[in-house]
Structures are given as C-alpha cells and as structure tokens.
Amino acid sequence: MSSPEVPYLTNSADDYDPQSMTVAQARAVISAHLKPIKDTMRTPLRSALNHILAEDIISPMNVPPHINSAMDGYAVRFSDLSLTGETALTVCASVLAGATPPPPLKPGQAIRIMTGAALPENADTVVMQEQTRREGDQVWIQADQKNGQHVRMAGEDLHKGASALRRGQRLRAAELGLIASLGIGEVSVFRPLRVAFFSTGDELTSIGHPLTDGQIYDSNRYTLYGMLTSLGFDCFDLGVVRDHPVAIENAFEEASRMADVVLSSGGVSVGEADFIKPLLARMGKVVFWKIAMKPGRPLAYGQLGQCHFFGLPGNPVAVMVTFYAFVRDALLTLAGANPLPVVPGFTVRTTTALKKAPGRTEFQRGVLSQNAQGEWTVRSTGNQGSGILRSMSEANCFIVLPQDCGSVAAGAEVEVQLFEGLL
Ligand code: AMP
Ligand code: MG
C-alpha cells in the first residue's frame, strides 16, 4: 500500500498533532488507501440484493415492449374526435392486458381497453372510462380529450440498447425490479467483502452467560453485526478477546487470515489495558489513531498484512458513530461501490439548545419530526454520553456540529444526516 500524498500523514503514529486530524482529513487519508476488490461472481437475481454490480446492464429490449394503455377506457384515433362536443364511435373489440392486440383501428372505431393492454395500430389516444357513455356497441366520448393521452410508449422506461445500470451500482429493491423487467435472471456482482470483528475488554460477557460483578454484556458485536449485514458484507464474529497482548495478537492473526477488513472495538485509548495501537504498530502499520470528533476520538486506522484495520472505540455510541463516519464508506468503496450511495443530509432548525465546545466535530443524536405547520425540525435525544446506546435507538438522525462551532441555541439551523438508508 502506498502512503497518500498528504502532509499530515506520517508512518509513525506519534509524531504529529492528533488534533490536526479532522473528520474530513481522516476520511481522505482512509480513502487514499483503498483499492476495491476485483473478484466477481455470477448470482441469481434475488441473491444479488445489497451486492455491488460488477457489469454494466444494457437493456436487451424495449421496456415496455409495446405501446399500451395507462388507463381502463377506450383506445381511439384522436383525429376522429370532435373538438367541440361529444363524439360517437363504434366499439369493435375489447382487449385485456396480456392479450394480442386487435386488428388496426378503422376511422370511426374505438376499442374497449384495460390498463397495460397493447394498443391496436392506428390508435393513438386512450379516453378514461369515466369520460365516456356507452349505448350498445356505441361509445360517446366527451369533448376536451388530449392527443396521445394515457398512452405508455414502447421503450419509455428503457430503450433497447440503453444503459440500464452501471458497474459499481449497489443493488437495492428498485434495481432488482429493473433488472427483472429486462428478463435478466442472473447478474455479475463483486464477491462480498469479508469483514472480521471482535470486542476487547476484560469486563465483557457474551449474552447467554450470567453477569458477574463488574461485568457488562457485550453489545458492540451486535451493532457491528447489524450494520455489516445490512450493508451486504460477509461478517465473521470472533467473539470477546481479553485485554491481554497475546490474546489480541492471536485475534489479529486469525482475523487478518480470513478477512479483507478487520474491526475491533475497545482498547484503543491510552488506558493501562489498551493494547490495540502498540500491537498494530508492531504487527502491521498505524496510519492514524486520533480524530477531532465526539464521540469517537480514539479511532485507529491501519493495516494488518493485506487487511485494512479499524480499531473502533469501546463506547457503544462511539462504535456506531465512527462506523458511520468512516468505516461504512470505506467498506462500500472496497466492495466496489462507485459512486458511493449518497448520504441524505439537510439543514433544519433545532428546537432544543445543543451544548458543545469548539475543537471537535460532534455527531449528536437527534429526532427529526414535522411540526403542526409542516416544518421539519430536530430535537436532541438528551444525554449525549457515548455510552448511552439508547440515544442511537431513539434517534433517527445525527445532528452534525462542525469542529469550530460552539453551543447552539434553540431555533438555530443545524445540519442533520438521516439514519434511514444509511445503516
Ligand atoms: P475502552 O475503549 O476499551 O476503554 O472502552 C470504553 C467503554 O466502552 C468502557 O466503559 C467499556 O466497558 C465499554 N465497552 C467496551 N467494549 C464494549 C462492548 N463490546 N460492549 C459494550 N460496552 C463496551
Ligand atoms: Mg477496554
């Protein structure tokens, strides 16, 4: 891996000012290290959900394949219609969706047509049933119809030969449907990224075991599992690793043998039992380990052999915030996503005052809602402690407060980033 051309990056983790690494700089440094995986595999369409497309999809046909009706009503020739009053036409056939189109329409004729049914030749306009009156085999058409109305043109969704989807597109529900509409049942996707993770901490108990004095349940492996799985990655849960250098060394070795990316949580700070950073420096390379953000100041990024390594903080909220702020995009890039899915964010007024000291970017948890006047506003979830995991569950967005800003008064505008479509 070549080091990126950035002045604040050094190979030694200790000889630069950690406060100089802003959120944006850290993102840029990580991004400069990423080389997307190349391996692809063919997969049935349903299994491709959440994977990244490894080929361009060119439409092999017109979608829809034939000109058809967008309404239940009557297909007519617009030139037959009176511009000022009602017109009587002879109903010569009825056509349902899926039926072969009836013979070409002659002057003075109409056909009864259902939504999705193919239009006969010469018919160019569909009149809604509600604007007609039927008398035997005659139909009276109201005045004021528009030429070409309620007709779906062949190829109006996609023309034969047009680019339907590009390599690098993440496949969600809409893309599965789009590919299916082309009659394609199998696609080439990048093989899923392999992500191994473990928690560190002598205080951690795995669920299913009784808690003893001083212990807490390990929740980080569950938030990580959730975030990784919903992004479509293959994840390997290596369990809880004790705060002991040999145990962590073994976990590093095992994880880096099986994965493209290794994530740990906890033990990355400067406490007496924080071994992640020195071990990473010995076994691989530390690129950086401190960022001017809250929560999540200690975040180690580096390499373990061919693997990318993220040493996430231990606090449960900090794990989710740092995953969101750095790891998600890095993983999607490695997995072949290009361009990266857009993260929805916008500016709204906060209804609560927000406490903050200048110097770090903060990702506070907020609840975005619409007030009685229809205006979208955000309020804080309250206690912003990095251990309050409930705040992530109650929130539906981050309130992102820039590094240099201080406390924010109620009524001021703030930037929010939605969770939906993100995690
Ligand atoms: P550390 O970064 O290891 O000092 O951990 C910071 C805080 O996060 C401590 O209060 C830990 O007990 C807590 N913590 C660390 N790992 C986990 C975990 N896997 N689940 C829940 N809390 C954790
Ligand atoms: Mg710890």
pLDDT for position 342: 83
pLDDT for position 271: 86
Provide the pLDDT confidence category of residue 126 given band limits of 50, 70 and 90: very high
The Cα–Cα gap between 15 and 79 comes to 81
Pocket probe mutation, ligand 1, options 265, 268, 269, 386, max atoms within 8 Å of Cβ: 265
Q: What percent of the chain has pLDDT over 70?
A: 95
Closest ligand, as measured to the CA of 198: 1
Q: What is the average pLDDT across 119-145?
A: 97
Q: What percent of the chain has pLDDT over 90?
A: 89
What are the phi and psi torsion angles at 91 (to 5°)? Answer: -85, 115
pLDDT digits (tens, 9 = 90+) for 1-24: 333 333 333 334 444 454 468 999
pLDDT digits (tens, 9 = 90+) for 51-102: 999 999 999 999 999 999 999 999 999 999 998 999 999 999 999 999 998 8
pLDDT for position 20: 62
pLDDT for position 3: 37
> CA neighbours within 13 Å on the CB side: how many for 290?
14
Pocket probe mutation, ligand 1, options 220, 315, 317, max atoms within 8 Å of Cβ: 315
* Chain centre to alpha carbon of residue 85: 53
pLDDT for position 18: 45
Task: For ligand 1, say whether the CB of 276 is within 6 Å of any of its atoms.
Answer: no
The Cα–Cα gap between 384 and 346 comes to 21
The SS3 of residue 20 is helix
Q: What is the average pLDDT across 215-243?
A: 97
Out of 19-28, 224-233, 321-330, 357-366, least confident range:
19-28
Ligand 2 centroid vs 385 CA: distance in angstroms?
17
Closest ligand, as measured to the CA of 202: 2
Task: For ligand 1, say whether the CB of 153 is within 6 Å of any of its atoms.
Answer: no
The Cα–Cα gap between 327 and 317 comes to 14
Element (H, E) at 346: strand 345-350
